[in-house]
Amino acid sequence: MSTEPVIKLGQKKKSLFKDSVMALLPDGGNLNMCLTCGVCSSGCPATGLADMDPRKFLRMASMGMDEEILSSPWAWMCTMCQRCIYVCPMQIDIPQLIYNVRSVKPRDEKPKGIVSSCDLALKHDTCSAMGASEEDWVFVVEDVLEEVRDSQSGFESLEAPMDKSGATFFLNQNSREPVTEPDEMVPLWKILHSVGADWTYGSKGWAAENYCMFMGDNKDWESIVRTKAKAVDDLGAKVWLNTE
Amino acid sequence: MKFTVQDPCQLVRKSLGDPIAEDLRFVVKAVVGEENFIDMTPNRSNNFCCGGGGGFLQAGLPEERHAYGSQKFNQIIKTGADYCITPCHNCHSQIHDLSEHFEGTFHTVHLWTLICLAMGTLGENERTYLGPDLAEVGL
Ligand code: SF4
Ligand code: SF4
């Protein structure tokens, strides 16, 4: 019989990346409660990408394989969809672990597309990840609205209110609509019009997306959310409606 | 003609849960007719992410994003639906791209498009994502 142990773990107890994440979470995100049942991995669409899956990622974190998990591109392939938490018998918060892996990466090691979307969003108070300015946005909305009023019978009095004070709903819009397919905004306006909704767009803080959050940058994420929330508060709207 | 619907993770599992998934089905069935609606399996809070979330669409990893989305694509194909309704912009971008990439036979359409189509108020320029079978309806 062999006397060699099958698995050799490190001798000294290291300070693990996982422990730093646990310190941030209520109940430590249950990250020490894994039963290794594999339910998370069997229902995760990212399983197998970059030779990784959620259980493996968590086990590696538990074993202190910090270098490996921090350098794995898999943190950008998990969409943080939370299905694994939903099905996990222990409600283990793997996506929060992923978020924190993203957040400790230096900016120049994060995917360029996500970084530039965040940078563009920080440029204007619109928070548009496509860099649309307040003027661009107001112009597009007015232009499309005028076209519909002139050409579609029954919609001569269609509205797309901008910066209306005290409306019930403050509506966000994904930047791709005004920038690349503005006509896609019209059905939404018509539905709101038909039900008599009291709503408004804002010239500031209207963009629905937040790539600074996906980038894992807490400071920029907060700055975007604060700009958007301020836009809603400044107009005194009651409900902030984000369509995505 | 059959329609299925994508439960957006953000709206359903991560925010308002199964009750909003029921509201979504109420609206979709009212619009397309109950007999024309078919659910994917699994669905509601248990649904698979389409692969458009978390910044994946901008991450510069199209191969991995398509591999991730193949699960969603197969799920939609299994329903046999002609249309996949996507109530979230990210889901729409990703599922539309999956259908093109894997050469699916279904169309990917925003919920607002079908609501206006059913109300008879969908304008000529608002039909980009309808297939030829619905493109002229109500014009
Ligand atoms: S589902 Fe939960 S308990 Fe099971 S392996 Fe995954 S993280 Fe561990
Ligand atoms: S959050 Fe990430 S690990 Fe969990 S199921 Fe979704 S993609 Fe997989």
User: Could you report the per-residue pLDDT of A135-174, keeping only the tens digit for each?
Assistant: 999 999 999 999 999 999 999 999 999 999 999 999 999 9
Which range among A12-21, A57-66, B74-83 has the greatest average pLDDT? B74-83
Residue of B nearest to A83 (CA): B46
Among A25-29, A69-73, A230-234, name the one with the lowest average pLDDT: A25-29
Q: Enumerate the residues of chain A whose CB falls inside 8 A of the CB of residue B88.
A: 243-244
CA B126 to centroid of ligand 2, rounded, Å:
34
Cβ of A55 closer than 6 Å to ligand 1, yes or no, is yes
Q: What are B103-131's pLDDT values in tens digits?
A: 999 999 999 999 999 999 999 999 999 99
Which amino acids bring their CB within 6 angstroms of ligand 2?
A: A 44, 46, 54, 78-84, 94-95; B 49
CA A44 to centroid of ligand 2, rounded, Å:
5
Q: What are B53-82's pLDDT values in tens digits?
A: 999 999 999 999 999 999 999 999 999 999
Give yes or no for a contact between B76 and B109, defined as CB atoms under 8 angstroms apart: no
pLDDT at A5: 72
Handedness of CA B90, B92, B97, B98 (dihedral sign): positive
Q: What b-and-e string marks burial along A196-218, b requiring 16 or more CB atoms within 10 Å of the CB?
A: eeebbbbbbbbbbbbbbbbbbbe
Residue that is written with structure tokens 């279904």 in the block: B106
Q: What share of chain B is helix, strand, coil (3-state, %, to 5)?
A: 55, 10, 35
Predicted complex ipTM: 0.96
Q: Enumerate the residues of chain B whose CB falls inside 8 A of the CB of residue A77.
A: 56, 59, 61, 64-65, 68
Secondary structure (H, E, C), A137-180: HHHHHHHHHHHHHHHCCCCCCCCCCECCCCCCEEECECCHHHHH
Report which residue type is found at A142.
E
CA A39 to centroid of ligand 1, rounded, Å:
6
Decide if pLDDT at A1 tops 70. no
As a whole number, the mean pLDDT across chain A is 94
Q: State mean pLDDT over A223-239.
A: 98
Give residue ranges of B with CB < 8 Å to any A CB.
8-10, 13-14, 45-49, 51-56, 58-61, 64-65, 67-69, 71-72, 88-90, 93, 110, 112-113, 115-116, 119, 121-123, 125-126, 128
Q: State mean pLDDT over A233-244.
A: 91
Rounded CA separation B15/A84 (Å): 15
Could you tell me what percent of chain A has a pLDDT over 70?
94
pLDDT at A9: 66
Do the Cβ atoms of B46 and A83 come within 8 Å? yes
Handedness of CA A26, A31, A33, A38 (dihedral sign): positive
pTM recorded for the entire structure: 0.94
CA A41 to centroid of ligand 2, rounded, Å:
8
As a whole number, the mean pLDDT across chain B is 97
Task: Give the pLDDT band (50/70/90) at residue B6.
Answer: very high
Handedness of CA B26, B11, A81, A62 (dihedral sign): negative
Q: Enumerate the residues of chain B whose CB falls inside 8 A of the CB of residue A45.
A: 48-49, 51, 68-69, 71-72
Q: State mean pLDDT over B88-103.
A: 97
pLDDT at A10: 63
Decide if pLDDT at A2 tops 60. no
CA A167 to centroid of ligand 1, rounded, Å:
45
Do the Cβ atoms of A194 and B10 come within 8 Å? no
Cβ of A38 closer than 6 Å to ligand 1, yes or no, is yes
Do the Cβ atoms of B122 and A187 come within 8 Å? yes
Closest Cβ opposite residue A183 in set B65, B119, B125: B125
Beta-ladder partners of B85: B5, B109
